[in-house]
Amino acid sequence: MKRAYVACAVVAALLQATAASADEIRVLSSVGIKAVIDELAPQFEKATKHKVTTTFDLASTMKAKIEGGAPFDVAILTPPLLDDLIAKGLVTSASRTAVARVGLGLMIKSGAKKPNVGSLDAFRRTLLDAKAITYASAGASGVAFLAIVEKMGIATQIKVKARPVASGEEVNANITSGAADLAVLPVSEILPVKGAELGGVFPAEVQTYVVMAAGASAKAQGSAANEFVSFLMSPANDAVVKVKGMERLP
């Protein structure tokens, strides 16, 4: 009986220590990896007892918030933006980790006819035949799209039908409302949108990958932030990354 009592006391002490050491991890992230984080954050919380608080927006918007003094423990942005925060001493260089990448796709309204993207010529014709194409002008996908159509020699024609907006939410609304028939976004941002679907991915000749890299704040206390980044990289989570439209870097 005495031994059982001691064992129960030890377990209680361990549980109390775990609760005492639990931290809140504030994650400021690009919306490009939102579907993955939404799936994995609760699993991490259950496994570690830490609490994860997430905020998502365009990577450029998140970077500006961090530079403006927004408190955070982990930032997940495109590598150039994260590297700039590292150079400014806001993110630790040792924590920099490339989590996953995602290719660009065309979003269409649910039930609409699938666009032909089976070849570069078919993709070009699809873009030229579209009535309106929407994208987030400050997003990595929007910037990449403009570079692609410039390379393809159709930038002038696309400009006439372009519907650039400030956020992914506005891109989604343009498709679901019928204001545009095509949208350019990372595949991972297309798959979760209700009322819309993936029309197809960019042909290999012009496909561009948006990389998501994570890093811990230089002010982050303890190891919780690094634990979260390590959890995202666990091979056990590769299946989640894949089903959300992303892939690990080769």
Query: In this model, does residue 12 exceed pLDDT 50?
Result: no
Other beta carbons within 10 angstroms of residue 152's beta carbon come to 17
Question: If you search the block for the tokens 């873009």, which residue do you land on?
Answer: 127
Mean pLDDT, the chain, whole residue set: 91
Say if residues 164 and 218 touch (Cβ distance below 8 Å). Answer: no
User: Please, which pLDDT band fits residue 75 given cuts at 50, 70 and 90?
Assistant: very high
| Any domain includes 57 | yes
| Any domain includes 5 | no
Residues 198, 106 within the same domain: yes
- Mapped onto helix, strand or coil, the DSSP state of residue 198 is strand
Question: If you search the block for the tokens 């209700």, which residue do you land on?
Answer: 194
Residues 94, 140 within the same domain: no
Give the CATH number of the domain where residue 231 resides. Answer: 3.40.190.10
- Mapped onto helix, strand or coil, the DSSP state of residue 187 is helix
Cα dihedral 50, 56, 59, 61 in deg (nearest 10): -120
Six token digits for residue 150: 């410039």
Say if residues 186 and 141 touch (Cβ distance below 8 Å). Answer: yes
Q: Which domain covers residue 109, as residue numbers?
A: 102-209
- Cα-flanking dihedrals φ and ψ of residue 100, to 5°? -165, 170
What pLDDT sits at residue 66? 97
| Any domain includes 168 | yes
For the chain, what is the domain count?
2
User: Please, which pLDDT band fits residue 22 given cuts at 50, 70 and 90?
Assistant: confident
* Model confidence pLDDT, tens digit, residues 23-70: 899 999 999 999 999 999 999 999 999 999 999 999 999 999 999 999
Six token digits for residue 119: 């070849």
Residues 149, 217 within the same domain: no
What pLDDT sits at residue 221? 65
Name the residue among 157, 158, 154, 186 with its Cα closest to residue 172.
Answer: 186
Global pTM reads 0.85
What pLDDT sits at residue 225? 94
| Any domain includes 204 | yes
